[in-house]
Every structure is written in structure tokens, then in C-alpha cells.
Amino acid sequence: MVFQKAISVLLLLFVLLLEQASSECISDYDCSAIYHPNSKCTVAGVCSNPYVSGCLHSFDSDKHKMRVCNADDLRLGNHETKNGMEQTCRIAEFQYPEIRVHNQDWEVAIFLSWIMQIYLTEFLEVPASVGLGDDTFQSSFYSTDTGLPLSRRSYSFDALVKANELGGDCSLTEEDCVHVIPDVWLGQKDTLLGHFDDGDIDYLDGNGQVGKISWYVPKKTAQEHPFTITYVGMDGRRQELADIFKRPTSWQDYCHEVSTMNCSQPDGIASRYPVTDSEKASYFAPNGNYIGHFRHTQESNCTILNEFGNSTCTGHIVNAPCTWSTFLDAQTYWNDIPLASSGTATVNSGYTYSQMLQVWDAANATNEHVMMWWYEPDPLLEAFRGTDYEFTKVHLPSPSVECRESRVTPDDRCSADTMTRRGSKEGSCDNIGHTTKKAIASSLRDSTRATPEVDQSPGYYAIRNFNIDDLDLAVVLRDYVKKGKTGQSARESVCEWVQNNMDVLGKFKPVGYPRTLRNESETQRNLKTVAQGVGIFAAIYVLISFLVTYHYRKARIMVFAQVQFVFIMLFGLLLVALSSIMHAALTPDNTTCLAQVWFVNLGYTCLLGPLIIKVSAINQLMRASRRMRRVRIKPRTLYLQVAALASFVTIFLLVWTFMDPPRPEMFRILVDDGRTVSAQATCSSEDTFWVTGYHFWEGFLILWAFVLAFQSRGVKAEFNESRAVGTMIYSHFVFAALRVIVYLTFDEEPNTNAVATSLLLSLDVISALTIYLLPKWVKGHKQLHKPASNENTRFQITASSFRREGSTTSVTGLNLTNKSNPNSNNSSVSKAFLPSKQLPKSHSTFSYFDDQQNKRKSFDSIPESTDEEMSGSFGTSDQSKYIRRVSFKTTSEIDTVRQHSMDRPLSGIEESSRSGHLDEATSNDESS
């Protein structure tokens, strides 16, 4: 039992040792020593990408900011620290649209896409991703997946078209969508020009590389068989080429067709049987798992003759996928070179990129001869430079314009028909060195130019300027090969080159970039604070006005001003004052933006609406009095009219709020240096119709009130507010006009607009209170606090409040003299009010002045009968309450006025018959 436990422990230890042996790291120290101090050992025993937060940031975090986030980062939450995961990117200060670069399926293209991503993301703060769409996370330079991401496609012109269809926004689709293909070779010329003519591709710029496509053999082969490096030497030498260039054997085929034990045991070629599909199709596997095998097959058996008695044997040459710029079928056939490819990846018997690399590695490992279609620049050439398997160029017929124009088209290169792939003899020449191109989607250009200059992304112009020459890229390639040709070494080589060549990349920056964002200055914030302080003062002034007005509500001046309407006006002024505070908010949000428009619209409506209704009613009564007609207006009617105006504005505001509510947005201004952007917060709706509408409504109210105030200039003094109202309306007009001027003038300077608007609203409130209410308070104070005497009182009733022209008789006064105290001082009592409780109890003499007879008349007592009428005498209906009627028998026409007692405001005015009755209204609901 003990023995079995010991065996189990030993087996467990053995398994752990195997796992550790197969792991890249055990601790963070291992990764730090191998790669970079930022690299950490993951749970899977793999070192993490040390550049996830930025290439430049990883070298000097104090000098260089963390990279900006792309769409994948935001989706994964890399912009914040949470759940134990550290932040690896930051939200860009400038919300430039993301640019997606295709990585293609060879190493040079991947390196170019990564350098371009670093250049955009860290130099210019433009979000950038790498890949076709579904693979952008794995393909990114900043990916936590540290492999070397080869795209599933070589060229993606249809993905450029898709970007154009979406207006340049690839985030709107899950299909392949890119803005840039960084490395387009000459073999794509026809396709490239076709898309350019269709408007799919922007102006064709070089990427700085000079592409050279050719056939290559190892230096060892060139030395042993010199005839193989020229098409003239290989012409017709079928048997020799078949003997020299054997066909490579895949790992699975070796185990099935060559190995006597089906790779069940190591045999020096394969250490085991392949497991995965990629292993089965591979021609070389690292760590001695499969070193490759070359053999003669039926294709290289020259003893087999065709139906014409000729041998068709061929030596082997490794061809590229038909989607690449290969013309091998035409070159071998028309130059009589008995070589053929035997790959299974594409219809032209081509091999995949990985398989091509594996075949050369296998030839090197097994010391076999090999010929392959290849290109430069590429790290494979650097990997074997200075060795027996250094790439040696094979010379084909010299290229010419006629040959270039006679090349097989990209579609024909992938034709299943062999003769179609061969094309014509004129197109069988060698490849010429050429500048490789960048293909840029036209939508990237169009969307950039359509953006206002202050928000314009530098991405498009930066990509146009991007240019890395062969010598610079060769440094990256050599370093990559030297460090082991892994995904980690690729990232390290690219990042080190960027770090050492910042001046080179800096030359590609568009003028005025990168830009600096300048938020509100201290001065601007102080001005907003001052504006808020003035707004708060205006609001307090309104609240105090409520209290003072309530205190003087029974004063004659306030009674005639209709104190209920004054309170509504004060409520409107309070809303305007609150709106001024909201306009000066330091950081506007949805609430303050809505409050601004609601308060200012409802405020001015509640301020001007009651004024308009009241003055309109007084004007109506004045016109009716001139025609001696009875007019009755109930208070409820007046309040409903004010409510109707407020309801109209409320409906407008509700529609505005639901359809296009004002929202906070950051308004940017490009200052004079062309590099600094001043960011200012403001509130705005998408459509300017709403702001124009409320300015028009306010102007309409001001004009309406001004016209009514002018019409009321002839009304009796107690009711006539034309001067105060006119002055206040003129003040409102001035401030409203100034606000419109500010809105139009400082439309692109939100801070200045907000401060100026806030101050104008506050000053408008302060001036309105001072012009309209302050004089009333002064008069009200005098009326309520003037000394009065109950022993000797002078009463005056004026019956000519609305006097007709041509009147010859008017009642100008009513004298009450206390005979018991003739030395008492007289005091004035409110006009049109005669409460009996103010009459003295002793015998009194009443007098009045008759204009027609030009003398004063008097009587000694107040008759007790109701509605008594007598020439030159007064009568009362209820002395204990009010003097209700004063009658005159006279031939002249006078106007009559009905009023409430001192305890009620002006509530009704009636025109009676020509009998000359002057009635004081009873306490009913009739009103003016």
C-alpha cells in the first residue's frame, strides 16, 4: 500500500516537471528576464505581452502617456481598473473615429500594420485596430494573445468597399471591414486600379517599401548546380532538375507513406505522429518533432512517357497562393523550364505562407536542394543570410512594359484552367522591383474632410504620410529573426524600432498635430462664479419682493395694480433668475440644460402675460366708458387667460423636450496657434428651430405689452401704469436684444455666451423689479403710514374717473366737518371709498362744489332712507357698511364708477344711465 502511494507521488511529480518544462515561465521573474520588466507569467505558464498599455509607455511611463483605447478595449473594460485587472488604456481626449488596418498574411505586412497602429494610437491619439473585424483583438499589437497573427486573407479590397458603404464606420458591421491595406504589391495592379477608378480607393501612395519578387535557391544549390540560377541554364534540362529538386512531404504523408512504423516511434525524422490538422499539413515542426522529408514522386519520374512518347517529369518549385503576385505558371511554361509546384492550398498548386517557410526550414534541416517563389523584404531572407541556405536569386527574362501589360490578371491566376493561368508568352518575363502601395478607403478621406477643422482627425493625413523604407524595415526583420521569430520577439523588435526612430515617425505627423486640449481657464470659471453670484442676488431680490409686496398689499397703489397679478409676475421673475443661475453652471448636465430653457420661457411668459392681460382689461374698460356701456369682467376670466398663455408655452417646451431636448456637449474651438483646442461645455439641441422659436415668442410678448402700455396712457392716474410698464418693457426689449446679439455673436464661444446671457438675465430681473415695483413700495408706504384723525376727517369722492368730454358738472369733493372739534386737522382718505365707520358720531355738515352754479352747497345730515334722491343732496343705503349711492339731479352727463371698500381691490366698473349715479360696488364677484 505504501509502495503504491510512493509510486503515485513520483508520477505526480513527473507530470509537474513535464508541465514546467513545457511552460515558458514559472514566475514573473522569468518573463522579466526573457522579455521585458512589464511582462508577467500567466496561469497558463506563458509570458504576457509587456506592451498592452503602450509601446512608448512601457519604456518611459513618466514621459509617455498610456495609449488610447480602441473599440475592443472599451468592450473588454480595459479603460478602467476592476475585478483585479489593471487599466491598460485611457479614453482619448479627442473622440476621433477609429481606423482599422488589415494585417494581411505575411510578416512584413503585419509589422507595417503594427507600426501604423502604434503611430496612430500613441503619437496622434487616434484609436486604431488591426484585423478584418472578428480578429481585431488577437491581431492587435496590444493583444494579450502574444502569437503572430496572420490574417485569413491576403488582400481585402471588398472590406474597403464595405467601409465606404458604411460611411467609414466599421463598428456598424460584423463583416470584413477595413480602412487601410498597408502592403499592396504590383500583382494587384489591375484590381487596385479598378477600385480606384470606381472611387473605392483614395489616391495611391507608396508605403516606402521596394518589393522584389523572384525565384530563389539556396547558396549551396547555386554553388553545386550553377545552371539553376538562370532560365537559360535550366532550359530543357528536365532530368537534372527532377533529380535535384525533390518534392517535400507533409508530416502526415510521411507517417502514412514513408515511415515503416507510422511514426509510432521516433526515427530521426519524426518523433511522433501529428495530432492537430495544422501539424498534419506541416512540412516542418520545431523542437525536432518533424524535420521534414524530400522524395522523388511520379511527377519527378522521367521514365514515364505521355501519349506522345515524351517525358513530362518535372523538378519541384514551391509556388505561392494564387492570390499573391505570382506568374510562375506562365514563366515555367513559356520559358521551357521543367519545374512544377505540388501544393494543395490553392488551385495553382500553391502552398500557404506557413508551409512555404516550413519547406525552406526542412531543406535546411535535411540538407536538400529547394527552389521557391519568394520576395523581399522578408524576415526569411534575414534568417538565412550568411548561411549555406542564404537566398540566391534566379534570373528570368528581363521585364519590359510590354511584358508588364501582358501579365495574367488576378482572377485568371486563380483559374482552375491551366492554360488560362499560363496566359501569353509576352507575360512570362521576370518581376521588376516596384514600390508597394497603401490602399486607403475613400470614405476615410471623405469623412475626414467633411469634419469641422477643430474636430478633424489626423488619421487620414498621417496614413498618407506614412513611409518606412527597406533599410529601416530590415532592422526590424533582422532583430525579429535574431530573437527567435515568435510573436513576443516580433512585438519587441517593432517596439524597439519605434522607440529608436521616433524622429522618423515624427516627420509623418500632419501640421498642427497632436493637439493639446485646454479646458476652462481659471478666469473663465471665475467669471461663471461671478455670474452665478449675480443670479443668486437677483433671486433673493425677487423673494424679498414677494414679502414687501405682500406687506403693502392693502395700499391703494397696490390695490389698483392688482396684487394677485403682481405675485404671478414675481413668480416669473424668480424663474428667470433661476435660469440665469443655470446658464452659468460650471459643468452643465441634462438637468441644468433643460432647466435653462424651461425657466426662461415660463419665466418671461409669467412675467409679461399677467401684465398684458391686466392692461388689456383696463384698456377695454376705458373704451367702453367712453361709449357709456356696461362691461363686466370676472377675475376668473383673467386668470384663465394667463393660464392659456402659460399652457401654450408649456406645450411648446414639452414637444421640445421629447423631440430634441437640449443636451450638454463639449464645444471645441481651435485657437490661433492651430494646435491648441479650447474645450467649453454648453447646452444645445440638434435643431436651432427651438431656440429661434423661444426668442420669437419672447419678442412677441414684449411687443404686445409695449403696444398695450402705449394705449393705456390716457387712463386715470390710479390705474395708469403706462409709464412704469413702458419703461419696464423697454428694459426687457433692450436685454432681450442684447441676448440675441450675444447668441449670434458668440455662437462659437460657449463660455462667453453663457456668462453674458446669465448676467443679462439677472440684470433684466433686477431692473424690472426696480422700475416697476420699487416706486409702488414707496407710495404704498406713504399711503399706509400717513397719520389720520377720526375727529375731523375730509372725504373726497371723484366721480370723473372716466370723464366724458363736454361735462359741465362734476363732484369734486365731499367735506365732512366735525362741529364738535373745529380745530382738528383734516386728513385725506382714499378716493372712491367712504366707509361709514369713519364718519363721526356727532352732528356733521356735508358740502360739495357745484361747477355749474360756481358755488359750494351743503346739507347738515345724512338721510336714513334708502336710495333717497334729492337735488344737491347725498343718500346712503346702509350707513353701518358703506355709502352705496350718491345721486345728483343735473342736466350734465357724468361717468359713474363702482368700487369696493378699502378692504377689497378694484373689482368692477359699471356705466349706468345718464341719471348721474355714482355707485360703489357691493362685495360680489363682478370685476374689471
Q: Is the pLDDT of residue 659 over 90?
A: no
Q: What is the distance between the alpha carbons of residues 92 and 126, in angstroms, rounded to a whole number?
A: 8
Of 469 and 216, the structure prediction assigns the larger pLDDT to 216
Inter-CA distances, 383 with 67, 433, 474, 643, 837, Å: 32, 21, 11, 87, 121
Q: Measuring CA to CA, which residue among 204, 225, 114, 107 is closest to residue 157? A: 204
Longest alpha-carbon distance in the chain = 162
**Is the distance from CB of 360 to CB of 367 less than 8 angstroms?**
no
Average pLDDT over residues 186-210: 87
Of 542 and 520, the structure prediction assigns the larger pLDDT to 542
Q: Is the pLDDT of residue 357 over 90?
A: yes
Of 611 and 153, the structure prediction assigns the larger pLDDT to 153
Q: Measuring CA to CA, which residue among 58, 208, 48, 74 is closest to residue 137? A: 74
Of 882 and 712, the structure prediction assigns the larger pLDDT to 712
Q: Measuring CA to CA, which residue among 222, 212, 211 is closest to residue 371? A: 222
Q: What is the distance between the alpha carbons of residues 614 and 560, in angstroms, rounded to a whole number?
A: 11
Q: Is the pLDDT of residue 914 over 80?
A: no
pLDDT of 555 reads: 83
576-612 b/e with 16+ CB inside 10 Å = b?
bbbbbbbbbbeebeeebbbbbbbbbbbbbbbbbbbbb
Q: What is the distance between the alpha carbons of residues 802 and 911, in angstroms, rounded to a whole number?
A: 10
pLDDT of 806 reads: 36
Q: What is the distance between the alpha carbons of residues 318 and 321, in angstroms, rounded to a whole number?
A: 10
Q: Is the pLDDT of residue 843 over 70?
A: no
Q: Which residue has the cell 358740502?
A: 847
pLDDT of 877 reads: 35
Average pLDDT over residues 338-343: 94
pLDDT of 423 reads: 93
Q: Which pLDDT tens digit goes with each residue over 629-640? A: 665 666 677 778
Average pLDDT over residues 731-739: 83
Whether pTM > 0.85 for this model: the answer is no
Q: Which pLDDT tens digit goes with each residue over 437-448? A: 999 999 999 999
Q: Is the pLDDT of residue 829 over 80?
A: no
Q: Which pLDDT tens digit goes with each residue over 88-147? A: 899 888 889 999 999 998 899 999 999 999 999 999 999 999 999 888 888 999 988 888
Which of 329-333, 811-815, 852-856 is predicted with the least confidence, judged by mean pLDDT?
811-815
Average pLDDT over residues 461-478: 91
3-state secondary structure of 647: helix
Q: Is the pLDDT of residue 835 over 50?
A: no
Percent of the chain with pLDDT over 90: 34
Angle between helices 590-626 and 689-711 (to 10 degrees): 30
Q: Is the pLDDT of residue 316 over 60?
A: yes
Apex CA 667: angle with CA 663 and CA 669, to 5°?
170
N-terminal to C-terminal alpha carbon distance within the chain: 114
Q: Is the pLDDT of residue 821 over 50?
A: no
Q: Is the pLDDT of residue 711 over 70?
A: no
pLDDT of 620 reads: 67
Query: Residue type for 99, please?
Result: I
Average pLDDT over residues 362-388: 93
Q: Which pLDDT tens digit goes with each residue over 523-572? A: 778 888 898 899 899 999 999 988 988 888 888 888 777 788 788 888 88
Query: Which of the four pLDDT bands, split at 50, 70 and 90, describes residue 86?
Result: confident
Query: Which of the four pLDDT bands, split at 50, 70 and 90, describes residue 602?
Result: confident
Q: Which pLDDT tens digit goes with each residue over 771-818? A: 888 888 888 888 777 654 443 433 333 333 333 333 333 333 333 333
Q: Is the pLDDT of residue 880 over 50?
A: no
Percent of the chain with pLDDT over 70: 77
Label residue 683 exposed, middle or buried (CB < 10 Å: 0-12, 13-18, 19+): buried
**Is the distance from CB of 263 to CB of 270 less than 8 angstroms?**
yes
Q: Is the pLDDT of residue 520 over 90?
A: no
Q: Which pLDDT tens digit goes with each residue over 22-46? A: 466 777 667 777 677 777 777 667 7
pLDDT of 17 reads: 42
Cβ count near 522 (within 10 Å) = 7
**Is the distance from CB of 680 to CB of 669 less than 8 angstroms?**
yes
pLDDT of 128 reads: 95
Q: What is the distance between the alpha carbons of residues 860 and 873, in angstroms, rounded to a whole number?
A: 10
